[in-house]
Amino acid sequence: MGISVSEQRATFDRDGYAIYEDVLDAGLVAEASAHVDWLAKRNPGLRPENLGHQLMAEDPFWVRLISDERLLDIAEQYLGPNIALFASHYISKPPEDGQPVLWHQDGSYWPLEPMEVVTLWLAVDDSQPENGCMRVVPGTQGMELHEMKASTDTPNVLSSQMDSELVDEERAVDIVLKAGGVSVHHPNIVHGSNPNTSGKRRCGLTIRYIPTTTRITKQPWECAFLLRGEAVEGVNEYSPRPRYVKGEDLAFRGCEAWV
């Protein structure tokens, strides 16, 4: 028997992260994988680890993906019924030279008040130590947020990291996921990932969900979408969902409902 929902929530409360296997079906994961290739082709100037939410506001498949009811059902366990998207980012580490994500705390980067937010990390590929899976230091969600420092000596996705004396790397654990699985993590948890030196791509989609009571303090913010429940008056402006334009956008199952 699988782990029950309450056990996952208890694991999150204790360790700052939790794992959900087999969340999305193989068909949708294959569409997400094709989407990454499509985005990378259209944006040759960007590293595939950096396909970020600036590309998302006009992309119906991306909005369809992060609106999936199975993902929102998980987010609801942490945030309650009124859910918006704050940000999303594909970190697709190519084979052989995929960049690391140095140790950091997400909340240190984010213009949110209060810092009530969860990340769902969707495995688009199988994600293992060999291809640079995510790593977390369990229990560090209780640590206050620290300033991240610029770091460019070795190429890395965020070009920054936290002070190494704050990171007890010995205690880090690997988050191993099969494609279609999801991990959830807290905005204060210390986490990162190693380079991908294997022959296999490692792609994950980060999805940052907020309750509609959380204010995005940086404006304008182009990719806030109300996804479930009610907005709170005066808190955030939400964008309309993008429309699918044949020949311009990536075609996907159900795209006719997005015209």
Residue 120: half-sphere exposure toward Cβ, Cα within 13 Å? 30
Q: What is the 3-state secondary structure (H, E, C) of 133-187?
A: CEEECCCHHHCCCCCCEECCCCCCCCCEECCHHHCCHHHCEECCECCCCEEEECC
Shortest Cβ 30–ligand AKG spacing (Å): 20
Residue number with CB closer to ligand AKG (83 or 134): 134
Binding mask 40-79 for ligand AKG (x = CB under 6 A): ----------------------------------------
Q: Determine contact, residues 158/89, Cβ cutoff 8 Å.
A: no
Q: Determine contact, residues 74/8, Cβ cutoff 8 Å.
A: no
User: In whole angstroms, what is the distance from residue 94 CA to residue 22 CA?
Assistant: 23
State which of positions 155-194 bind ligand AKG (CB under 6 A): 191, 193
Shortest Cβ 230–ligand AKG spacing (Å): 27
Of positions 20, 61, 90, 121, contacts ligand AKG by CB under 6 A = 121
The 3-state DSSP class for residue 107 equals: helix
State which of positions 206-225 bind ligand AKG (CB under 6 A): 206
Shortest Cβ 146–ligand AKG spacing (Å): 15
Residue number with CB closer to ligand AKG (206 or 214): 206
Shortest Cβ 90–ligand AKG spacing (Å): 9
Q: Does 204 bind ligand AKG (CB under 6 A)?
A: yes
Residue number with CB closer to ligand AKG (161 or 249): 161
State which of positions 85-114 bind ligand AKG (CB under 6 A): 91, 101, 106
> 33: left (phi > 0), else alpha (psi -120 to 50), else beta?
alpha
Residue number with CB closer to ligand AKG (60 or 99): 99
Q: How many residues of this chain bind ligand AKG (CB under 6 A)?
A: 10
Torsion of Cα atoms, 115 then 118 then 121 then 122, to 10°: -140
Q: Does 23 bind ligand AKG (CB under 6 A)?
A: no
Q: Does 84 bind ligand AKG (CB under 6 A)?
A: no
Residue number with CB closer to ligand AKG (64 or 185): 185
Which has the closest alpha carbon to 241: 64, 38, 32, 55? Answer: 64
Closest residue to ligand AKG, based on beta-carbon distance: 193
- What residue type is 34 in one-letter code? A
User: Which residue is associated with the tokens 């479930």?
Assistant: 228
Of positions 72, 134, 177, 226, contacts ligand AKG by CB under 6 A = 134
Q: Determine contact, residues 190/113, Cβ cutoff 8 Å.
A: no
- Specify the DSSP element, H or E, that contains 8: helix 5-15
Task: List residues near ligand AKG by CB under 6 A.
Answer: 91, 101, 106, 119, 121, 134, 191, 193, 204, 206
